[in-house]
Each structure stands twice: as C-alpha cells, then as structure tokens.
Amino acid sequence: MVKKINFFLKLPITLTKKNEAGYKEFFLEINIPNINSILEKLSNIYNPKIKELIKEDKLNKNYLLFLNGCFTNDLSAEIHDNDRILIIPIVTGG
C-alpha cells in the first residue's frame, strides 16, 4: 500500500541543491514510510549524493540523525505527517 506523507528534512549543505539551506518540505508517495526508504527515494529524485548517508543499512558514521528533535540511529523509524528529520555531519575540532 502506498502512503502519502508530508515531512520536513534538513540535510548537510553538501547534499542539498544550490541555495537550499535549512529545512525543506517534501511530499512523497512511499510504500514504507521510514527514514531508510525516504532517503533511498530522495536519492533517486532529489540528489544521488544522499546515498552517501547510508552504509550497510546504517547511517554513515560521519553523520548524526534526529527525528523531531530526538537523536536516533534507527533508520527503520516510521515517519508521520509533519515530522522533522535533521541529518548533520559530525564536526570535530582541535
């Protein structure tokens, strides 16, 4: 069953299109409304570089994932209408 879902996604600037910083609203028709399937679909229709976020069915270790303000590692987490997904690179300094 295909589900229509409306959500907001903020990606690292290196994975967005030019001049699209900040949260971007997406509306997708998707079979399994979870983070993994959303990222996979967006890599096909928005930016192929999004595939860099997933390594062996896990989030790339160089990024952090937040769902509605809460940290998670669970790419199978279900997404609901108006959810906010934030993916940021891990920044280190010295």
Give me the tens of pLDDT residue by residue for the chain, a chain 94 residues long. 778 888 888 877 666 666 665 677 788 888 888 999 989 988 898 888 888 888 888 898 888 999 999 999 999 999 998 899 888 888 766 6
Q: Tell whether 91 is covered by a domain.
A: no
Query: What pLDDT does 69 receive?
Result: 93
pTM of the model: 0.81
Q: Tell whether 60 is covered by a domain.
A: yes
Q: Tell whether 90 is covered by a domain.
A: no
Q: What domain range includes position 47?
A: 3-14+22-83
| Among the listed residues 59, 53, 52, 50, the one whose alpha carbon sits nearest the alpha carbon of residue 77 | 59
